[in-house]
Amino acid sequence: MTRPRTYLDYNASAPLRPEARAAVLAALALTGNASSVHGEGRRVRAAIESARDEVARSVGATPSEIVFTSGATEANACVLAGGWDTIVLSGLEHESVLGPARASGARLVEVRACGDGVVDLDALRAAMAEVSTSGGRGLVTLQLANNETGALQPVAEAAAAARELGLSVHTDAVQALGRVPMDFAALGAAYMSLSSHKAGGPAGAGALVIRDGVELKPLVAGGGQERRRRAGTENAAAIAGFGAAASAATHELAAMARLARLRDALEDGVRQASPGAVVVGEGACRLPNTSLIAVPGTKAETLVIRLDLAGLAVSAGAACSSGKVGASHVLETMGLSGRLDGGAVRISIGHATEESDIAHFLAAWKEIAAASELAA
């Protein structure tokens, strides 16, 4: 008999929402290129523009500010390759920000996070002030929510300070979409990256939101698609699925209180079974769906494997493309990598998570704890 599986890794990729599946299938049934003037082309165009409206509405942007991309990695790369002289970034950023920042040739100024997983805002302000006096084009990149801890970052505060200093702001908002209310207009950033598959859409679609009036050199040049901001025939099916997922996820924001209750029940259960367990970033204002749990002295990879054998999909920090699990740079920048040298297990829940899934997790955790040193 196959053991039922419980999926608790939404921050790596959320299950496809039924609304997104339906939109993908409807778009796949269309024929034509959205740039063609005939009826077939216009129907594909209509599907893309409808998705653009849905994504824009979900994040408080205007449709003209949405540039569809292959995902957030491309959106991040496009902003970071924008010819900056200096880039101020937090040590919490995702690899898809850190990699292109290092490759950009810009001077990098990295700001550490506090022990609760929130960037040190005083240090960030000081770094911005220093950069503003050094001349040239300066970018500040700060994620909206961390993918490992779920800690929300003070992007609006950073953007307000950056504006005074003449610096541009980019935010990687991948983990926030559909999990906390978002308002691009109020945030004050010039650029924002989004990903479809973290919100229950298909992988391979995302968006770069560029404030109206802000210019950015395209990363992919060629045809005139996306108002000359991203060349290449649009992936209409994935974009349609992204639109439907963004819309459904945003309508469900009220359901986030339900997720926060499930997350709290999970964390309480873990603490009871393993009094030594640490919920990383617990003191921060954080996403309602994410728990990062470390048991000092226990390797996170071992826990992930044991939980997998018990039918549970969780991850050790961020899922990385090679499938390898290394030391987390997020724990490192929080100053926790020494104390929590075994790493931490990330449990991330979402729209399809039920109480029974949390019960499955806790039963497995207790069994593992009873059989090992976890309860110590």
Q: Tell me if 175 contacts ligand PLP by CB under 6 A.
A: yes
Q: Tell me if 243 contacts ligand PLP by CB under 6 A.
A: no
Closest distance to ligand PLP from the beta carbon of 70 (Å): 7
Residue from the set 58, 132, 147, 333 that interacts with ligand PLP by CB under 6 A: 147
Is 320 one of the annotated active-site residues of the chain? yes
Q: Tell me if 94 contacts ligand PLP by CB under 6 A.
A: yes
Number of alpha helices (DSSP H) and beta strands (DSSP E) in the chain: 13, 12
Tokens standing for residue 139? 């970018």
Closest distance to ligand PLP from the beta carbon of 334 (Å): 16
Residue from the set 143, 298, 315, 333 that interacts with ligand PLP by CB under 6 A: 143
Q: Tell me if 182 contacts ligand PLP by CB under 6 A.
A: no
Phi, psi of 139 (to 5 degrees): -120, 140
> Which residues, numbered 69-88, are part of the site for ligand PLP (CB under 6 A)?
71-73
Q: Tell me if 172 contacts ligand PLP by CB under 6 A.
A: yes
Q: Tell me if 195 contacts ligand PLP by CB under 6 A.
A: yes
Closest distance to ligand PLP from the beta carbon of 200 (Å): 13
What b/e sequence results for 244-274 when a residue is b if at least 16 CB atoms lie within 10 Å of its CB, and e otherwise?
bbbbbbbebeeebebbeebbeebbebbeebb
Per annotation, catalytic residue among 78, 114, 285, 320: 320
Closest distance to ligand PLP from the beta carbon of 311 (Å): 23
Of 138 and 206, nearer to ligand PLP (C-beta) is 206
Closest distance to ligand PLP from the beta carbon of 210 (Å): 17
Of 147 and 298, nearer to ligand PLP (C-beta) is 147
Find the part of the chain contacting ligand PLP (CB under 6 A) among 39-47, 68-76, 220-228, 237-245.
Answer: 68-76
Kindly compute the dihedral angle of the four CA atoms of residues 122, 125, 126, 128, in this order, to the nearest 10 degrees: 160
Q: Tell me if 168 contacts ligand PLP by CB under 6 A.
A: no
Please choose, from the candidates 145, 96, 112, 179, the residue with its C-alpha nearest in 3D space to the C-alpha of residue 292: 145
Report which DSSP code applies to 64.
G
Q: Where are the alpha helices (DSSP H) in the chain?
A: 18-28, 39-59, 72-80, 95-103, 121-133, 155-165, 184-187, 225-228, 236-251, 256-273, 300-309, 329-333, 355-371
Q: Tell me if 230 contacts ligand PLP by CB under 6 A.
A: no
Closest distance to ligand PLP from the beta carbon of 206 (Å): 5
Residue 124 to residue 103: CA distance in whole angstroms? 22
Residue 196 to residue 348: CA distance in whole angstroms? 16
Q: Tell me if 279 contacts ligand PLP by CB under 6 A.
A: no
Find the part of the chain contacting ligand PLP (CB under 6 A) among 152-160, 171-179, 250-258, 283-291.
Answer: 171-179
Residue 25 to residue 3: CA distance in whole angstroms? 30
Kindly compute the dihedral angle of the four CA atoms of residues 86, 126, 116, 264, in this order, to the nearest 10 degrees: -80
Residue 283 to residue 90: CA distance in whole angstroms? 19
Residue of minimal CB distance from ligand PLP? 71
Please choose, from the candidates 8, 18, 166, the residue with its C-alpha nearest in 3D space to the C-alpha of residue 85: 166
Q: Which residues are catalytic?
A: 320
Summarize as ranges the residues that interact with ligand PLP (CB under 6 A): 71-73, 94, 96, 143, 147, 172, 174-175, 195, 206
